[in-house]
Amino acid sequence: WIETPYDAQMSRTRNRPLARYALSPVHALTFGTACGVAGVTSLFVFVNPLTAGLGLANIVLYAGVYTRMKRLTIANTWVGAVVGAIPPLMGWAAATGALSPGAWVLGAIMFAWQFPHFNSLAYTLRADYSKAGYRMMSVTRPRLNARVALRYSLLMFPLCAMLPVLGITDMLFIADSSIVNAYMAVCAYKFWKHPEPKHSRRLFFSSIAHLPVLLILIMAHKFWQDRKAQSNI
C-alpha cells in the first residue's frame, strides 16, 4: 500500500487492486498483517522455530527494507535478491531443522539467478520505473545493469558445481547444469554487448526457462545419486 501512488503510474502495475483503488490501503494492510502473523505462527508451531524466524525475517526485509529502498538507491536490487534467496533456506530448514552448507549454496543460486532475470526485465520497463521515480540500475546506470546481469549469470557455473562437491547431486550434474547455464550466459553476454530491448527480452525469457529446468536437474541428479547409493548397499 506504500507504493500505490507509484504503481498507478506504471503500465505493469497500474491494474493491481490497490493501484486502481479496488481495495483500500487499510484492508490491504490488515489482510497482509493477518497473513504474515498466521504464516509465521503456523511455521513456528507446525514446522520449527528456525523456519519461522527465516519467514519473519523475509517479511521484514521485503516490506520494511526493500520496498523503501526502491526509491532511494540501486542497492535495492541486492536486498531484493536476498529476499528471493531465503525461501530455499526455509525449505531446507523445514526438512532438516538446520542450515547446512547445501542450503546456503541453493540460496546463493537463487540469489544469483535473480540478477539476469530482474535486470533484463527492469531494462525493458526502464521508462516505467523512471516515470514512477524508482531508483533502478536500468534507469540510473544502464551499463552497470547489463554488466551485473552478465556477472551473476557466469556465477551460476561455480555455484552449481558446488552441489556435487557437497554430495547433494552426482558429478554429472556439472555437465547438465553447464548446458543450461551456458544458454542464459550467452543471452546475458549479448545483452551486455548490445543493451537493447531485443536482447533484454531474450535474456528475461531465457531466465524464466532456466530456473525450473535447473531445479528439475537438481532433483533428478539427487534422485539418481540416491538410487545408485541404495543399489550399492
> What was the pLDDT predicted at 67?
87
In angstroms, the CA 75 to CA 183 distance is: 27
In angstroms, the CA 96 to CA 104 distance is: 13
In the chain, % of residues over pLDDT 70: 98
Mean pLDDT of 108-130: 94
Q: What is the DSSP letter of 99?
A: -
> What was the pLDDT predicted at 2?
66
**Nearest CA among 148, 95, 146 for reference residue 124:** 146
User: For the segment 166-212, what is each residue's pLDDT rounded down to a tens digit?
Assistant: 999 999 999 999 999 999 999 999 999 999 999 999 999 999 999 99
Residue showing cell 519461522: 52
**Global pTM?**
0.91
Residue showing cell 558446488: 162
Mean pLDDT of 6-32: 80
230: pLDDT strictly greater than 70: yes
Note whether 109 and 218 are within 8 A (CB).
no
Query: pLDDT band for position 86 (50/70/90)?
Result: very high
